[in-house]
Amino acid sequence: MPLVTSEKMLNDAREGGYAVGAFNIENMEMVKAVISAAEELNAPVILQTTPSTVKYGTVEMYAAMVCVEAQRAKVSVCLHLDHGNSYKLILQCIKSGYTSVMIDGSSESFEDNIKITQKVVETAHCMGIPVEAELGKVGGKEDNLETEADRNTNPAEAKEFVKRTGVDSLAIAIGTAHGFYEGIPILDKTRISEVKKLVDIPLVLHGSSGLSDKEVKECVRRGMCKVNFATELRTAYTNAAKELLAEEPKIYDPKEFGIVGIPAVKELVMKRIKVCGSAGKA
């Protein structure tokens, strides 16, 4: 079926008490793996690209790949720009067929974050595209953005931010980090409940790779409606290729890496979809 926006997906998740899995994809094989996993579990799914991914390829190429695979799928598929870092890139994504975008102004001041988010929301909404924003700072490194310390989202600021920007979903900081954790993460899960009481839009969890199933489930129970997974998908794909090379070092055909990479990513995505509670919700 044609690509859909994230709006209904996430609002349905909010009402149903589950979350939609959002998976960062880097190549054709990962696109196929994620959509195949969603189809097998009859789950709605969001595929995401970051600015560095579309710089490596192009916005148009990733949009075309996902669109072709979504047309064949029997479940709802959304293509989302993750951590959009400029108004120009967001416009380019929308024009190329992305059906959801994020503007990440979390590194700016509160007022500047509101300003850039308002601008993106005004433009995107005119084109029927929902917008995700981020308030507070998630630690770790995502793309070329690195945060040395966490600054969890202030619930009162979240209420004001949503009211003034008209944003459709909000990523909040609760102590998660992009990439894998070096130690045991200390999550302020009560912060999710506090923010949920004050805003009437879906909440988004970033930095989920490496979190235990129990932690993710608790975050979803408290109100997270979209859960992002990136690093662990890359690792699953790369480890499958490494294992193949270790067993058969004379391999030279790149397709062989995809043949082992697809099922490795698919298996992981299926596990995460089940943890999010979205299986059977398409």
Q: DSSP H helical segments within 57-109, as ranges?
A: 59-72, 87-96
CA distance 97 to 100: 9
Helix orientation angle between 189-198 and 213-222, rounded to the nearest 10 degrees: 20
What is the 3-state composition of the chain as percent helix, strand, coil, each rounded to the nearest 5? 50, 20, 30
DSSP annotation of 232: H
- For residues 186 and 175, what is the distance between their CA atoms, to the nearest angstrom? 6
How far, rounded to the nearest angstrom, does the alpha carbon of residue 239 sit from its chain's CA centroid? 22
The answer to whether residue 82 is catalytic is yes
Q: How far apart are CA 8 and CA 23, in angstroms?
A: 18
CA 158 from centroid of its chain's CA atoms: 20
Q: 207's torsion region: left (phi>0), alpha (psi -120 to 50) or beta?
A: left
Annotated catalytic residue: which of 12, 82, 150, 253? Answer: 82
E strand spans, the chain? 20-24, 45-49, 77-84, 100-103, 131-135, 139-142, 145-147, 169-172, 177-178, 203-205, 224-229
Asked if 49 and 24 count as a contact pair (C-beta separation under 8 A), the reply is: yes
Residues designated catalytic: 82
